[in-house]
Amino acid sequence: MGNIKIDENIIKRANIWLEGNYDNDTKQEIKDLIKTNPKEVIDAFYRNLEFGTGGLRGVMGAGTNRMNRYTVGMATQGLANYLKKMFPKKDLIKIAIAYDSRINNTFFTNTTADVMSANGIKVYMFDALRPTPELSFAIRYLGCQAGIVITASHNPPEYNGYKVYWDDGGQLVNPHDKNVIEEVNKIKDIDDVSFERNEDLIELIGETIDIEYIKLIKALSLSPEIIEKQNDLKIVYTPIHGTGVKLVPECLKAFGFKNVYNVPEQDISDGNFPTVKSPNPEEPEALSMAMKKAKEVNANLVMATDPDSDRVGIAVKNEKNEFVLLNGNQTATLLIYYLLKKWKENGKLTGNEYIVKTIVTSEILKDMAIKSDVEYFDTLTGFKYIAEILRLNEGKKQFIGGGEESYGYLVGDFVRDKDAVISCCMIAETAAWAADQGKTLYELLPDIYKEFGYYKERLTSIVRKGKEGAEDIQQMMDDYRSKPPKSINGSAMVMIKDYLSGKAIDLKNNTESAIDLPKSNVLQFFLEDGSKISVRPSGTEPKIKFYFSVKEEFNDPSQFNEMNDFLEKRIDGIISSMGLD
């Protein structure tokens, strides 16, 4: 075993698998690891793979801390038990399952179907890979009580995951998230899991759902006559080896766009993601091949979706005819601006409409809503909270659109998660609308900033790994709470929002008010110059995130680049003032 000593408790955990009711291939994998890679044995067995509020996510392989047939089976058994508790009077509980292009996608899908059907639960299983948002739609369309998608989003190729949805089509929220975790944690032994597949309870789905989904997406269009005039707009799209490969081009063509170019090398559904370092549309490198293609065909717009097609990154031409990437706040700004303008122009605003954003997303969305006499909601970070707002307002108010700075957006309410298929279509429509006014999306941004002020955002993360790292991150949060700065970068602090205590402190008026959101380990500092700093530890990675937002009045669109540089320097100053550089 080399120089690395394996703790006795880890050896005991590994021996349970070697002696228990596990398949021979799994046992052989563990034996080989013990002989050749003791470090890997420690990581594979030092804990149980945690079923968090969203589900499972981890490295694939044998062991209690890995994604495999047994950890997935135990999680599924716990979920099945909870469904039976929640719907005791239902003759037939139903669940939908989808998967993306990751390695072992169909294996984990079938494992999930095995356990669900063995527990007497009807399973609707997609016949091939599909976008996560289509799974959300299918839950509602088929009247299911829950849904599961096998995905690890944009994690590296060695990862896979298991994301759970409730009967409203949204990800699990309180109390179901905590209750499902409790049920999963009650499954202590693999012998508690029923793996005997019941084929009579498994039904393949696909084309019928696609048709209904596309039909509803097409109905979202607000400017079909403009698209007809601008249908020669050139769009380059890449699914980055993921699930958008079929439906995004189909939907764009259904909207009326005739010149949709793909990136053939990235149309191949491959969980190794061979052409990119990371299949993450937030990373410039992930769009490099698409931008190269865009130069070749002289495209107007570049769009890239992540493997499960719930997030989208875009690139547009600047004043020098060069492609530049927009961040998630800028894309959200363009999309919501267009939606509000067209809803008003089309006579659809009645005073009962609303938009939703997260607390770390640009405040310009709030400003636009207020000016349009449209209600807005702020939620905690995570699209499941946006979906919860939709559920609470269903049948009472009309949702226009919403989004978060991390490249996730939604238009319409028939999906209850961020939807890159819908977003690609509506972003393309926004580009056509701008083109009809003789502008590019890049040229539209200065016009928006002139109306609402120039907002600039940046995200910075500090990584602290291991137990000591987690303690360091918590200490940073404790220090900010107990000794908040009186000023940052020369601007006085005017408001502190602490989402853990649920209090907002107005320092100018020396008053305190309650925050009407679930408690969360997030702090926000508001400065006199309009700057906003949000601080939160990541829930899935060993890092603490700092979201910076600055604002300045902006009257001259010709000074767009100069103002951008000015605000970049202000953010640099804030970072330096906080000792984060």
Catalytic residues: 153
CA nearest 203: which of 308, 104, 121, 99? 121
Q: Which two tokens stand for residue 187?
A: 């499954």
Q: Which two tokens stand for residue 167?
A: 């009967």
Half-sphere exposure (Cβ direction) of 191: Cα atoms closer than 13 Å: 5
Residue 78 β-bridge partners: none
CA nearest 431: which of 308, 546, 326? 326
Contact between 581 and 540 (Cβ < 8 Å): no
3-state SS, 173-196, equals CCCHHHHHHHHHHHCCCHHHCCCC
CA nearest 156: which of 241, 97, 72, 76? 241
CA nearest 1: which of 29, 48, 42? 42
Contact between 179 and 51 (Cβ < 8 Å): no
- DSSP assigned state of 557: G
d(CA 148, CA 146): 7
d(CA 373, CA 570): 31
Residues 6+ apart with CB under 8 A from 39: 4
- DSSP assigned state of 500: T
Q: Which helix (H) or strand (E) holds 566?
A: helix 560-577
Q: Which two tokens stand for residue 58?
A: 């981890």
d(CA 28, CA 537): 39
How distant, in Å, are the alpha carbons of 76, 119, 147, 179, 185 from that of 79? 5, 11, 10, 9, 10
Q: Assign residue 518 a region: left if phi > 0, alpha if psi is -120 to 50, beta otherwise?
A: beta
Residue 353 β-bridge partners: 398
Residue 560 in 3-state DSSP? Answer: helix
Half-sphere exposure (Cβ direction) of 14: Cα atoms closer than 13 Å: 24
Which sign does the torsion angle of CA 6, 10, 14, 19 carry?
positive
Contact between 86 and 146 (Cβ < 8 Å): no
Q: Which two tokens stand for residue 332?
A: 């959200």
Cis peptide before 175 (omega within 30 of 0): yes
Q: Which helix (H) or strand (E) holds 313?
A: strand 312-317
d(CA 389, CA 492): 34
Phi and psi, residue 304, nearest 5°: -135, 135
